[in-house]
Amino acid sequence: MKFLKYLIRTLIILIVLFVLFLLYASISDFKPDLKETIMQSDTPDTINVSSDLSLMIWNIGYSGLGDDMDFFYDGGKQVRTTKKRTLENFHFIKNFISQNDTLDFILLQEVDIRSRRSYRINQYDSLKKVLNEYIPLFATNYDVKFVPSPVTNPLGKVKSGLTSFAKYQPKSAIRYSFPGNYAWPVSLFMLDRCFLVKRIPTTNQKELIVINTHNSAYDDGSLKKQQMEFLKQFLQTEYNKGNYIIVGGDWNQNPPDINYSDIRKDSPTKRFVLNPINENYLPKGWTWVYDPDTPTNRYLNAPYKKGKTITPIIDFFLMSPNIQPAFVKTHHFEFKNTDHQPVICKVQFK
């Protein structure tokens, strides 16, 4: 009888603690505005439309997803790699970026600020020091005081986001929240997806719109569909004004002209569903720009093994009809230090 009372009392305490935790998580939940001005300038630079531009996109995976890692949310077992390996990965990332510090725009995803998963490194501050001649911009898309999963080794505190570095002073930089989210309480511990828009005047009285995006990963495609529709409306509105538009980032889906039906059919991950972008997503003239010969991402259900790990293309650029791509290359590092690979392109104004 005493044991039963003890058991009931323990269960009541656990339930109360769980409810209190959910209450705390709800109160402290990151609730970004639909539109947030990150910076604004009365003295922006002006881009000459006769000049070429160069850009890099790279999801650096908070320097925690090298070739040694699998990840629990992708069917693996690990939560984070060692601190030593995290620092090695981040050292490689910074070195490669510093070697490309002549690029006009560098668009990064999954840059952490003092998160447990990346051993409290302020990656944004470190990258600002490496790129001290750039205008730095940060848009938060993950800010959770404590992620409780997995229960045996919780992910803990996470703060992360999109980081854009520009050689040109923008007129403005604005964070736009993507629509849609998971149901409560799962939404309390997931990313709040967004895209970061930089506006820079051009010499023909238009604007160059450079967008850094990171779309949803762990959904059945319904969230990405909402996000893509929202983005499409934004892109068409800006293009109708005569503006030039470049979107780059981790789309977590493949370009419309790549067929990955075999990957989708035999996928070893259940949470990540690789969806294709609709081939009629935008009118004729818009260009999907990527290196068709080199994958940009590898699956995290197991540590990387060349020739065995699934490696699709999900990081790429989208350009408006008045932008002409001149060159694109994905740098293949066999996913040693990141689960995504950097893509560099050069473009011209039409």
pLDDT per position as a tens digit, 147-172: 999 999 999 999 999 999 999 999 99
Q: CA–CA distance from 41 to each of 64, 136, 173, 174, 234 (Å)? A: 35, 13, 9, 12, 22
Residue-wise pLDDT for 6-59, tens only, equals 778 888 888 888 888 788 888 988 899 999 999 999 999 999 999 999 999 999
Q: Peptide bond before 342: cis, by omega within 30 degrees of 0? A: no
Residue-wise pLDDT for 68-125, tens only, equals 999 999 999 999 999 999 999 999 999 999 999 999 999 999 999 999 999 999 999 9
**Is the pLDDT confidence value at 264 over 90?**
no
Residue 129: pLDDT band (50, 70, 90) is: very high
The torsion angles phi and psi of 98, rounded to 5 degrees, stand at -65, -30
Q: Parallel, antiparallel, or unpaired for β 343-349 and 323-330?
A: antiparallel
Contact 214, 177 (CB under 8 A): no
Residue with tokens 């050689």: 167
Q: What angle do CA 254, 256, 258 make, to 5 degrees?
A: 65
Q: Peptide bond before 312: cis, by omega within 30 degrees of 0? A: no
Residue-wise pLDDT for 234-263, tens only, equals 999 999 999 999 999 999 999 999 989 888
**Is the pLDDT confidence value at 2 over 80?**
no
User: Average model confidence (pLDDT) for the chain?
Assistant: 95
Instruction: Write down the domain spans for the chain.
Output: 1-30, 34-349
Q: In what order do the strands lie in the sheet with 52-59?
A: 135-147, 156-166, 105-112, 52-59, 343-349, 323-330
**Is the pLDDT confidence value at 180 over 90?**
no
- CATH code that applies to domain 34-349: 3.60.10.10
Transcribe 80-102 into DSSP letters.
---HHHHHHHHHHHHHHHHHTTT
Q: What tokens appear for 3 in the block? A: 């044991």
